[in-house]
Amino acid sequence: MSPEPTTLLQGTLDLLILKSLATGELHGLGISRRIEQITGGTFNVKPGSLFPALHRMEEEGWTSSFWGDSENNRRAKYYRLTKAGRKQLESESKRWGRISWAIAQALEA
Amino acid sequence: MPFVSKTRSFLRNLLSTRSVEQDLDQEVRSHLQLLIDENIRAGMSLKQAERAARMELGGAEQVKEQVRQARFGNWLHSLISDCRFGLRQLHKNPGFTLTVILTLALSVGANTAIFSLVNALLIKSLPYTHPQRLGTIYTRKAGSTMVSEDRHNLDGERWELLRDNVPALLSAVSGGTSGVNLKADSRVQYVREGRVSAHYFDVLALQPVLGRNFSEDEDRPHGPKAAILSYSLWRNTFEADPGILGQPILLKGEPHIVVGVLSQGAVTPSNADVYTALQPSREGAGGGSNFDVITRLRDGATWQQADAELNRAWAAQVQHIEKHNPGVRVTYFSVPLQKGETESLRPQVLALMLSAGFILLIACANLAGLTLVRMLRRTSEVATRLALGASLWQIQRQFWIENLLLALVGGAVSIGLGFLALKELFLLLPEHFLPVASVPVDARVLAFALVVSVLTSVLFGMLPALVARKVDLRSSMANRAVAASVRVRQLLIAGEVALTVVLLAGSGLLIRSLIHLETLPPGFNPNGVMVAKASLDDVRYHDPATFRQLLHESIAAMRQIPGVQNAAVGLTLPFERAVNDGVTISDGKEAGTQDGADLFYVTPGYFETLQMPVLAGRVFTDADGTDTQKVAVVNRSFARKFYGGSNPVGRYINKDIVIVGEVADVSVVSGLEPVAPLMSEQAMYVPAAQVSAKFLSIVHVWVQPDWIVRTAGPVEGLTSQMQRALAAADPNLPASGFYSMKDLLARTLATQRIYVALLGAMAALALLLSAVGIFALVANTVAQRTREIGIRMALGSTIGQAMVQIGRSGAIASVFGIVFGLALSAGALRVMRSVIYGVGVYDATTVLLVLLTIAAITLLATAVPTLRIARIDPARTLREE
């Protein structure tokens, strides 16, 4: 299945999804587009990665889902953060901050 | 919290699969729809929008599968669905499934049955407390050329030294088990009596359920006569009477006081119904090496210590042997009792296990071939699944799971089959043939069957799985795999035919040697002779006069039976083990020669009843009595061995016995120098009337005399009339059994017969499996090449040519197998040298028969599937493609 860089990528993807949901509930495509937007187009998350991550995060209890209507009246499955999800976002952001700072330091040295 | 939500989703994924799946399906669909909407808003046509959306989604099924794999508890879910799919696949191919399960069941069943024997004989601990502290004594004789190690039987002197001077061991001896007459109330019963020394049950740590074990006083020569009953004798004959203790029972004509009753299920190496104290001394039985010894290491002692004490205690005996056998070093050492008890059967049991292993290999080869074909047939299925997003690992796993399912079902059936085989085997074995009470199918046997089935499935699944790795979406690869697979299968079949050749040749040699033994010229006329055996191990018959009177009256009564031409008594008969005695030549140039010989006592009618040819002189008459000249008749081998073949009549042996006649050799079970189960060796016959009281008191402990009658034709109720005749002479003398000479021969050759039956069954199984293998290969080739055959026939090939063309693959494999198998046999069968008689290891007849058998089976297995070629319609086959 996924090769070595999984941990980093998976962690990154999880953090990006959590972040995209921080401002409110979104459906799968919405999450994908929001990530594209907030990363300035760097990350284009394909459904093949997005959906497994969404389902896994729901099983972890970070998100919850419900069926609702989209902006142009299509039925879509929406995701929102739970309390545990918010906590996870907070701690993951801090961790990520530390890691990126450390890596930036390392590269400047 | 995460734990709760995980558990919840685990259960939901597992239990409400359908709604979870629907939800996922809808989500992916809606995602696609949203993508299309987005594309349309960006200005694409509907068609373009759909196409772009699908490209971005990257395959709905693959996405779903990826989500499924990310799910918690996915492994269990996919395992279950793989199992379900596997079962469906197996159900869809009943022919394949049945063949595999039957092959597994037969091969693993054979292995399970044989392993049960190995388990009971060689692995399972003896059923006594601390079995590792139980032992027996072996002698090691180390000469300059060879070393021999044998279980050591003790004489009275050694026993006393062991008992008194080896404090590290608690020891006991037994004098063997033999049939005796037990009189309880007015009923006389024939039971097995074990003669054991005082601490026999203490060594085995068996506590009686009633009373006590023998005291040392009861074990002293001429001590009080005591008996210990087995639980089953106590229950069946004495109705479990708790008041039996202290009561006398009449055993061998003498009252014995019952001092104990063994607990239920207690077994001893002697395996008797009733035990009496051996009362060993240096006289009588103790004058020769007649005692079996068992020892228990005392607390705090070590085996090294025990062996050191033992060699010190027997130092004088060691010196004696070494003086008479210069250059030989003699040492005694302890050996675990289990090893001592089962050593003689060990090679045979291991050989059986080896041939069972062959069967397993043959089965593996067949199964590998079958699964390989099945695998290739499923190439398109595999390709479809790969296209639908299955990983290679998932496909491999599917095959493993199917194999495992087959292995489990086959294993379960094999356990049942093994159990049945074991029961059949027991019907074949004579009573008390095995030194263990039972051969249980215990947890170890079950585990063995399971492990072997799974191992087999791994073995036969491995090959197809390796081939599957090569399966590609492009079909050309699959075709190449088919061609390779025929080679692989031919190789497998050659291998299994080779193993079959070895098994067939082995059992052929055993059958040939059994036929040789059964058709040996017996040296007398065995037809029309009926035998009654009875125990004279009775204090009354220690007296020669009473003994003579019994013989006289019983023979007279038997001669009265209508239809009986002649009657006699003898100890013993041809086909039986004779008593061995020493003989000294007393006159002529051979004077002083000493050697062993078989000793028979017979009544005057013995030679006539058996119709043994008299070669010189005369046989006995009623005139040869107590007070007349002591006489003997010897056989041809005796004359040859001691007198160089010249006429022995008139020569003297053992000081004062004159030889009056010479008779032909008969086949006996040798006790002197056994080189075959049946052979002839030097023997001397003496008149029953001239046997001494001392001899009578000893010999009947071990051997029972035979009453024989000769009839012209079948006589109605002969055995009951013989019993009545015996009772007329002594109402307390039950016959222990009635036999024809054929029965005695069969009893003697029982072991050979068992070998033949067991190895024969293995060989037949191997042959069957090989036939199935060849059949499957050819049948498969026919199926695969139907089109090619159609073209050939359209181009003018005859059906016969096509059949030969196709059948060749099986025949070639078989021929290679035969060649390889014969080469293998040449090496492997040499180990059989010690169990075959009258036939060499390289026996042309056997080889020829093996070749013919395999050729016939190969022909059959290749011809039957090629018959289908005759039904191929070239026009239709060509149109179908």
How confident is the model at residue B257, as a pLDDT?
Answer: 93
* A106: CB partners within 8 A, 6+ apart: none
Nearest to A59 among B34, B72, B391 (CB): B72
Q: How far is residue B160's CA from residue B168's CA, in Å, rounded to a whole number?
A: 15
Contacts of B56 in chain A (CB under 8 A): 46-47
Mean pLDDT by 10 residues, chain B (881 residues): 67 74 87 88 89 84 81 74 84 86 90 89 86 92 84 90 93 89 83 92 92 92 92 91 90 90 88 91 83 93 93 91 86 91 84 90 87 77 74 78 86 89 82 76 88 83 64 52 74 91 92 90 92 90 93 94 94 91 89 90 95 94 92 95 92 93 93 86 94 89 92 87 91 88 89 88 92 86 81 83 83 91 88 84 90 92 84 74 52
Cβ contact, residue pair A51, B27, below 8 Å: yes
> In Å, how far from its chain's centre is CA B842?
25
Chain B residues whose beta carbon lies within 8 Å of the beta carbon of residue A47 = 28, 31, 56-58, 63
Long-range contacts of B400-403 (CB under 8 A, 24+ apart): B400/B461, B400/B465, B401/B79, B401/B82, B401/B83, B401/B86, B402/B86, B402/B89, B402/B90, B403/B371, B403/B457, B403/B458, B403/B460, B403/B461
Contacts of B70 in chain A (CB under 8 A): 52-53, 55-56
Would the CB atoms of B66 and A48 count as touching at under 8 Å?
yes
* Of the partner residues B2, B27, B63, the one whose CB lies closest to the CB of residue A77: B27
| Ranges of H-type helices in B325-442 | 337-342, 346-377, 379-387, 392-428
Asked whether B522 and B677 are in contact (CB, 8 A), the reply is no
Residue B706 near residue B655 (C-beta atoms within 8 A): no
Q: Which residue of B has its CA nearest to A75?
A: B30
Half-sphere exposure of B640 (CA within 13 A, CB side): 11
Distance from C-alpha of B718 to C-alpha of B563, rounded to nearest angstrom: 9
On whether the CB atoms of residues A76 and A86 are closer than 8 A, the answer is no
Provide the terminal-to-terminal Cα distance of chain B, rounded to the nearest Å.
62
What's the N-to-C CA distance of chain A in angstroms? 36
Contact list, B62 vs chain A (CB under 8 Å): 48
* Cβ contact, residue pair B6, A52, below 8 Å: no
Determine the residue among B10, B38, B61, B67 to mutate to test chain A binding: the one whose Cβ has the most chain A Cβ atoms within 10 Å. Answer: B67
Most B CBs within 10 A among A29, A45, A63, A79, hence the mutation to make, goes to A29
CB contact under 8 A, B34 and A27: yes
Q: Which amino acid is at B581?
A: D
Which residues of chain B does A81 touch, with a Cβ-Cβ cutoff of 8 Å? none
Contact B71 A58 (CB under 8 A): no
Contact residues, chain B, for A56 at CB < 8 Å: 70-72
Query: How far does Cα B820 stand from its chain's mean position?
Result: 28
Residue ranges of domains in chain A, CATH in brackets: 6-108 (1.10.10.10)
- For strand A75-81 and strand A63-69, is the pairing parallel, antiparallel, or unpaired? antiparallel
HSE of B666 in the Cβ direction (CA atoms, 13 Å)? 28
Interface test with B, best of A51, A58, A71, A86 (most B CBs within 10 A): A51
**Residue in this structure with the two tokens 């495992």, named with its chain if needed:** B404
Domains in chain B: boundaries: 2-72, 74-127+344-473, 144-327, 487-521+743-881, 529-712
Among left, alpha and beta (phi > 0; psi -120 to 50; other), residue B180 is beta
Q: What φ, ψ does residue A16 adopt, rounded to 5°?
A: -65, -40
pLDDT value for A5? 35
| pLDDT value, residue B593 | 86
Which ipTM value was assigned to this complex?
0.85
- Answer whether 0.80 is exceeded by the pTM: no
